[in-house]
């Protein structure tokens, strides 16, 4: 269970081989055959991924409902107008954003700290590495169940340790923070592993030179480490934000959206709307709004970063 | 003279303090990452009576396997496990079989418009919320009469695992130098022969790793299974696990923990096997782009 020392090494070799774009011979011979190689995967992708995506966007402009006998009709922007008035949805949306930020930011900081530690020559590093991988392999449902056991008001270890019988997941004030902690725990490994791989790109000589010049740990991090891992860090930061805002299973198992909607993430809201109340069109409109807002947020962040680079 | 070759005393002290701080931080991480896992294991082996006692502890006084037996009595775990196994196995095999040729094209012709579009799709598919896909998918599968069937679920799992399968496999293909294939082709083996007898054996470990990763993801998957399967006898392991949950009394916690532990084992074992390859495979993208 000591995987990460070897990460990225084989692929770096791979990158060198691929940079030529394939020798002319390969291109010539596979030119026609390429379609036969591609089609088996391309057809399912088009039919069951790209197609449904477009269909889903179209549904947002219809009054589609489950189990209705009359034909579905185009209703233009009506769903979106309704959505604009739907305070429950916006509350859920606000919780979703809050959740995504409250999980992604600490998660990133913790993962960076762990990656820096694992990059050092410490004893028990193997144990931390092994443990850090486990959440990644676990089914999300099990992660949720496990933390329900930890938080359990009567038989949970948290209340036992702190000496209270608080209902962490069931009370208005603690439900969201309690769920956020689980969110951080669950995806810590992925972020850590990617950052650790980024750290293998940090030039060691530069580090040593900076240390010789008397730069402290923080200065060395800011001037040597961070510039080297910045692209990877930004990529995984954005990705984890997207993962978190789209997350479903964890919170579904932990609280089911309760108490009183305090943890009802947008995905849970849309799921209920679609599969409990059968409002397919309306739920699709929610999905569209979610995608639009996340895209805008990421674009703004990206543009901001790029500007920062120019300066 | 020794002072010249040795770092000054202050620096040594500071370095030692830094080391101590690092170990303390590592300990903090170990506790945070490890304690829920320990508690899950502990609960699984604790009898309901002991758990209901005033002070549940880390190590049960009388470790018991009753929870496991009771878990099998309460919920159809065997059938759920078989369903999960079938869905995950079929999805993994199909995904790898159809993804490998396309990944080959993506890797060898990475500048062609098709490869670029495919790469773009791989990235975009990471960002789209499942709600937007699941509703139309539900309607499509309903028309095909594939709702509430493992066949439909397998189809969805195949498509859903294609992005990372293509991503990983393309990375492994790039690791095989094209010159090898050409040499074989020049030696008189046909193009296809060269692919099958030279490239495929070199790709095999990567293909196995990708398949296992697809298997783990399908085994763990919850949302699609929740939406697409209705009959209890068709449901997969994660969905059945949620049936334990409710206003659970303390008596049900042990079996719940035991079943969760069993559901995790396959993923954990396989993940340990392929870990090194997964991290390097997913990283190929993250590091390079």
* Alpha helix stretches (DSSP H) within chain B: 2-5, 9-44, 48-52, 66-74, 77-108, 113-127, 130-143, 150-174, 178-186, 191-194, 200-220, 223-228, 237-244, 253-288
3-state secondary structure (DSSP) of residue A165: coil
B153 and B275 both lie in a single domain:
yes
Among candidates B174, B285, B196, B117, which has minimal Cα distance to A38? B117
Residues B97, B229, single domain; the answer is: yes
* Residue B273 reports pLDDT greater than 60: yes
A111 close to A192: Cβ distance less than 8 angstroms? yes
**B118 compared with B6, residue with greater pLDDT:** B118
Beta-carbon separation of A239 and B126 below 8 A: yes
Residues B216 and B157 occupy one common structural domain = yes
Contacts of B266 in chain A (CB under 8 A): none
Among B residues 19-78, those touching chain A with beta carbons less than 8 Å apart: 22-23, 25-26, 29-30, 32-37, 39-40, 43, 51-52, 55-56, 58
- Partner residue facing A29 (CB), from B127, B191, B219: B191
Q: Is the dihedral of CA B85, B86, B91, B93 positive or negative?
A: positive
Mean pLDDT of B246-267: 84
Residue A31 pLDDT class (50, 70, 90 cuts): low
| pLDDT above 90: percentage of residues in chain A | 31
Residues B40 and B104 in one domain: no
Please answer whether residues B75 and B259 qualify as being in contact, where contact means their C-beta atoms are separated by less than 8 angstroms.
Answer: yes
With respect to residue B139, please indicate whether it lies within any of the assigned structural domains: yes
Give the closest of B55, B107, B155 to A18, CB-based.
B107
Q: Are residues B184 and B232 in the same domain?
A: yes
Tokens of B103: 């990944």
Which residue among B66, B101, B122 closes a domain?
B66
Distance from CA of A287 to the nearest CA of B (A): 5
Q: What is the mean pLDDT of chain B?
A: 84
pLDDT at A21 over 50: no
Residue B13 has pLDDT above 90, yes or no: no
User: Which pLDDT score is estimated for A6?
Assistant: 34
**CA–centroid distance for A265 within its chain:** 14
| Chain A nearest-CA residue for B102 | A38
Q: Smallest CA–CA separation between B10 and chain A, in Å?
A: 13
Q: What is the mean pLDDT of residues A197-211?
A: 83
| Mean pLDDT of the B187-209 span | 82
Q: Which of A109-118, B83-92, B246-255 has the lowest mean pLDDT?
A: B246-255
**Tally of domains within chain B:** 2
If contacts are CB pairs under 8 Å, which of residues 129-188 in chain B contact chain A? Answer: 129-137, 139-140, 155-156, 158-159, 162, 166, 171-172, 174-179, 181-182, 185
> How many whole angstroms from its chain centre is CA A121?
29
A262-305 pLDDT tens trace: 899 999 999 999 999 989 999 999 999 988 888 888 788 777 76
Instruction: Say yes or no to pLDDT of A182 above 90.
Output: yes
At B196 the pLDDT is 81
Query: What tokens appear for A71 in the block?
Result: 């034909």
Find the domain containing B120 and state its range: 76-288
B59 and B114 in a single domain? The answer is: no
In this structure, is residue B71 part of a structural domain? Answer: no
Q: Do B287 and A8 touch (CB under 8 A)?
A: yes
Identify the residue with better confidence: A310 or A161: A161
Q: Which three-class secondary structure state does DSSP give residue A138?
A: coil
Pair B43, B82 in one domain: no
Measured between alpha carbons, how far is B132 from A281 in angstroms, rounded to an integer?
A: 10
Mean pLDDT of A179-192: 93
Q: What is the pLDDT of residues A48-71, one digit of tens each?
A: 888 888 998 999 998 888 877 777
**Residue B176 and residue B198 share a domain:** yes
Query: How large is the C-alpha radius of gyration of chain A?
Result: 24
Residue B123 touches chain A, beta carbons under 8 Å: no
The answer to whether A260 touches A51, Cβ cutoff 8 Å, is no
Kindly report the CATH number assigned to the domain that includes residue B138: 1.10.3720.10
Instruction: Report the alpha-carbon distance of residue A272 to residue A280 in Å, rounded.
Output: 10
Asked if the model's pLDDT at residue A117 lies above 60, the reply is yes
**Are the C-beta atoms of residues B244 and B255 closer than 8 Å to each other?**
yes
Which residue has 């923070």 as its token pair?
A: A177
Same domain, B56 and B125: no
In CATH, the architecture of A95-310 is Orthogonal Bundle (1.10)
Chain A hits for B283, CB-CB cut-off 8 Å, are 7-8, 11, 193-194, 197
* A15: pLDDT strictly greater than 60: no
Average pLDDT over residues B151-169: 91
The token pair that represents B252 in the structure block: 């049900």
Contacts of B25 in chain A (CB under 8 A): 113, 117
Q: Which of B101, B270, B282 is closest, CB to CB, to A38?
A: B101
As for the ipTM of the complex, it is 0.87
Chain A residues whose CB is inside 8 A of the B43 CB are 149, 155
pLDDT of A193 over the 50 cut: yes
Q: What pLDDT is stored for residue A245 in this prediction?
A: 87
Residues B236 and B203 reside in one and the same domain = yes
Taking the CA of residue A311 and the nearest CA in chain B, the distance in Å comes to 23
What are B82-122's pLDDT values in tens digits? Answer: 999 999 999 999 999 999 999 998 888 878 888 888 888 88
A253 pLDDT above the threshold of 50: yes
Interface residue B203 vs chain A (CB under 8 A): no
pLDDT band at B1 (very low <50, low <70, confident <90, very high): very low
CB contact under 8 A, B43 and A141: no
- pLDDT greater than 60 at residue A11: no
Residue of chain A minimizing CA distance to B268: A137
Compare B249 and A215 and report the one with higher pLDDT.
A215
Residues B52 and B152 grouped into a single domain: no
* C-alpha to C-alpha distance for A30 and B194, rounded to whole angstroms: 12
State residue B217's pLDDT score. Answer: 92
Q: Is B242 on the interface with A (CB under 8 A)?
A: yes
Whether B80 and B212 map to the same domain: the answer is yes
Determine whether the interchain pair A52/B43 forms a contact, defined as Cβ–Cβ distance below 8 Å. no
Q: How far apart are CA A268 and CA A121, in angstroms?
A: 43
- Among B220, B35, B251, which Cα is nearest to A146's? B35
* pLDDT exceeds 80 at position A1: no
Q: Would you state the structure tokens that stand for residue B6, as one six-digit string? A: 């040795």
Look at A44 and B155 and tell me if their CB atoms are within 8 Å. Answer: yes
User: What pLDDT digit, counting tens, does each position of A124-147 carry?
Assistant: 888 888 887 888 889 999 999 999
Cβ–Cβ of A280/B174 closer than 8 Å?
no
Tell me what pLDDT residue B171 has: 87
Q: Specify the higher pLDDT residue, A157 or A140.
A: A140
Domain end position, chosen among B23, B39, B66: B66
CA pair distance A44, B158, nearest whole angstrom: 8
User: What would the pLDDT profile of B25-78 be if each residue is shown by its tens digit?
Assistant: 999 999 999 999 999 999 889 887 787 776 667 888 778 888 898 888 888 889
Distance separating alpha carbons of residues A212 and A125, to the nearest angstrom: 26
Give residue B279's pLDDT.
57
* Residues B44, B48, B50, B55, CA torsion sign: positive
Phi, psi of B249, deg, nearest 5: -80, 165
Q: Cβ A142–B129 below 8 Å, yes or no?
A: no
Q: Which of B76-80, B176-180, B228-232 has the lowest mean pLDDT?
A: B176-180
B contacts of A37 (beta carbons < 8 Å): 101-102, 104-105
Identify the domain boundary among B43, B66, B89. B66
Picking from A14, A59, A126 by the largest number of B CB atoms within 10 A of its own CB, the best residue to mutate is A14
């Amino acid at each position: 269970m000591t995987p990460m020392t070897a990460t990225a090494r084989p692929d770096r070799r791979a990158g060198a081989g691929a940079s030529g774009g394939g020798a002319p011979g390969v291109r010539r011979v596979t030119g026609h055959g390429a379609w036969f190689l591609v089609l088996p995967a391309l057809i399912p992708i088009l039919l069951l991924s790209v197609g449904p995506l477009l269909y889903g966007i179209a549904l947002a402009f219809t009054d589609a409902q489950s189990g209705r006998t009359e034909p579905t009709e185009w209703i233009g922007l009506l769903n979106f107008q309704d959505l604009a008035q739907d305070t429950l949805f916006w509350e859920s949306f606000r919780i979703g954003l809050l959740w995504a930020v409250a999980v992604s930011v600490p998660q990133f900081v913790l993962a960076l700290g762990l990656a820096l530690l694992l990059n050092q020559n410490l004893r028990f590093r193997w144990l931390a590495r092994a443990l850090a991988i486990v959440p990644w392999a676990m089914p999300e449902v099990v992660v949720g169940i496990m933390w329900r056991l930890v938080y359990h008001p009567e038989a949970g270890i948290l209340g036992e340790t702190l000496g209270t019988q608080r209902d962490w997941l069931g009370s208005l004030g603690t439900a969201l923070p309690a769920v956020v902690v689980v969110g951080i725990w669950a995806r810590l490994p992925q972020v850590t592993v990617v950052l650790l791989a980024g750290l293998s790109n940090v030039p060691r000589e530069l580090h040593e030179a900076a240390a010789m010049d008397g730069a402290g740990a923080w200065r060395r991090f800011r001037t040597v480490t961070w510039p080297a891992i910045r692209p990877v860090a930004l990529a995984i930061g954005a990705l984890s934000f997207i993962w978190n805002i789209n997350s479903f299973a964890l919170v579904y198992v932990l609280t089911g959206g309760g108490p009183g909607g305090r943890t009802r993430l947008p995905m849970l809201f849309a799921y209920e709307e679609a599969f409990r109340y059968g409002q397919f069109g309306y739920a699709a409109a929610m999905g569209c709004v979610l995608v639009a807002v996340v895209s805008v947020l990421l674009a703004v962040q990206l543009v901001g970063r790029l500007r920062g680079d120019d300066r | 003279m020794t002072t010249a070759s040795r770092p000054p005393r202050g620096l040594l002290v500071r370095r030692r303090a830094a080391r101590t701080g690092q170990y303390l931080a590592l300990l903090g991480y170990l506790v945070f990452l490890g304690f829920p896992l320990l508690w899950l294991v502990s609960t699984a082996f604790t009898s309901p009576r002991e758990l209901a006692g005033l002070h549940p502890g880390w190590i049960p006084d009388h470790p018991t396997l009753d929870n496991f037996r009771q878990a099998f009595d309460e919920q159809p775990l065997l059938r759920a496990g078989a369903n999960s196994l079938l869905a995950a196995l079929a999805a993994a095999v199909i995904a790898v079989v159809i993804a490998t040729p396309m990944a080959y094209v993506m890797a060898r012709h990475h500048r062609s418009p098709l490869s670029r579009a495919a790469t773009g799709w791989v990235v975009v598919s990471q960002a789209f919320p499942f709600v937007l896909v699941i509703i139309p998918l539900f309607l499509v599968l309903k028309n095909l009469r594939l709702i509430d069937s493992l066949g439909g679920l397998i189809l969805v799992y195949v498509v859903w695992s294609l992005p990372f399968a293509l991503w990983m496999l393309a990375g492994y293909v790039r690791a095989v130098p094209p010159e090898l294939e050409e040499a074989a082709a020049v030696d008189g083996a046909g193009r296809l022969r060269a692919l099958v007898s030279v490239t495929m054996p070199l790709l095999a470990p990567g293909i196995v790793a990708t398949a296992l990763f697809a298997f783990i993801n399908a085994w763990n998957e919850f949302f699609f299974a929740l939406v697409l399967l209705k009959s209890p006898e068709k449901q997969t392991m994660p969905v059945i696990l949620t049936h334990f949950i409710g206003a659970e009394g303390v008596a049900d916690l042990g079996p719940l923990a035991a079943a969760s532990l069993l559901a995790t084992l396959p993923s954990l074992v396989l993940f340990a096997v392929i870990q090194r390859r997964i991290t390097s495979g997913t990283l190929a993208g993250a590091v390079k782009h």
